[in-house]
Amino acid sequence: MAFGKSKNRRRQDTAHQKEAVKGAVRAHGPSVGKGLLAAALTAALVWGGVELRAWALTSPRFQLQEVSFTGLSHASRAELVRLSGLAPGQNLFSLDVTALERAMLQHPWVRSVEVTRHFPTAVSIQVVEHAPSALVVLGDLYVLDEEGEPFKRVTPGDGLDLPLVTGVVREQYVADPDAVRERMREALGVSRAYAALKPGRHERLSEVRLEATGLSLVTMAGQVVRLGEGETEAKLSRLERVRRELSAKGLAADVIHLDNRVRPGWVAVKISSPASERSGGSVQ
């Protein structure tokens, strides 16, 4: 008899709970039911996301199998793979793209790098290298890029045959790098303009000197062209004309002055000594 009373009491408690829930729904309207449903769905999605991530991070389906590079010229694939730590079998979801890019930027030739994951098993790496434009002595011999940035020391394996920028000392660069880079950019601009002269009408450029009064060029044959400051295109045009006239007369110049500030259109030329005078002999 006592057991029966207890059972009836539980049924009564359950009935009271159901009535309380129904009362709450009636009191607060359908929003309570919708909120409970939304909470249940959210919990299910979170649980599903956690399970899906755990599966993706361990599934052999997403193991790295292929790494491709574009833009390599001086940097090598092997060097960049070593710096990045990429290896077959790594999980693509676990790769830290930002860390990979930062690691490969340690290579002196790499100016920028972009890593892209291609699911399920590949990674592509787009590299932009510094463009070597000249060499400069800053204590050691450095390579200048097109922005006038000395980005690496010259090493025997670089195989670079570029004009040399002189007239800058390391202490100047350390004290005011922005100002020195600006002057080196100016030197590179003149070097490019000189290289654009018509083929066959100019000797190959060996050196660009940064001087207090402007710029001077030195050719592979040792001819010095004093440009001074400004009006680069006009001065190089006059240089072509002077060389053409000298060649027509069978003459050559040791020094050509295009830096007359008072009379910018004037050109002064120091004629080379004939071979007989340089050697001390006579021409038969």
Alpha-carbon torsion (273, 279, 280, 281), positive or negative: negative
Integer Cα distance of 199 and 218 in angstroms: 17
**Domain 163-271 belongs to what topology?**
Rossmann fold (3.40.50)
Cα 212 versus chain centre, distance: 32
144 DSSP β-pair partners:
134, 150
- The total number of residues written for the chain in this structure: 284
SS (H, E, C) the chain: CHHHHHHHHHHHHHHHHHHHHHHHHHHHCCHHHHHHHHHHHHHHHHHHHHHHHHHHHHCHHHECCEEEEECCCCCCHHHHHHHHCCCCCCEHHHCCHHHHHHHHCCCCCEEEEEEEEECCCEEEEEEEECCEEEEEEECEEEEEECCCCEEEECCHHHCCCCCEEECCCHHHHHHCHHHHHHHHHHHHHHHHHHHCCCCCCCCCEEEEEEECCEEEEEECCCCEEEEECCCHHHHHHHHHHHHHHHHHCCCCEEEEECCCCCCCCCCEEEECCCHHHHHCCCCC
Q: Can you give the pTM of this predicted structure?
A: 0.74
Alpha-carbon gap, residue 241 to 201, rounded angstroms? 9
Q: What angle do CA 222, 223, 226 make, to 5 degrees?
A: 130
Asked whether 253 and 203 are in contact (CB, 8 A), the reply is no
CA dist 132 and 16 (Å) reads 85
Tens-level pLDDT at each residue, the chain (284 residues): 443 444 455 455 445 545 544 554 454 455 656 666 666 667 555 555 555 666 657 788 999 999 999 999 999 999 999 999 999 999 999 999 999 999 999 999 999 999 999 999 999 999 999 999 999 999 899 999 999 999 999 999 899 999 999 999 999 999 999 999 999 999 999 999 999 987 665 689 999 999 998 999 999 999 999 999 989 999 999 999 999 999 999 999 999 999 988 888 889 999 987 644 433 332 22
Tokens of residue 108, six digits: 């002196």
**Can you give the pLDDT at residue 198?**
74
pLDDT at 57: 76
Q: How confident is the model at residue 283, as a pLDDT?
A: 28
Specify the pLDDT at position 282: 29
pLDDT at residue 34 in the model: 67
The number of CA neighbours under 13 Å toward the Cβ of 81 is 13
Q: How far is 18 from 16, CA to CA, in rounded Å?
A: 6
Q: Where are the domains of the chain?
A: 61-129, 163-271
pLDDT of residue 199: 66
CA-CA distance, 138 to 167, in Å (whole number)?
A: 10
State phi, psi for 212 to the nearest 5 degrees: -60, -30
61-129 has CATH 3.10.290.10 classification: no
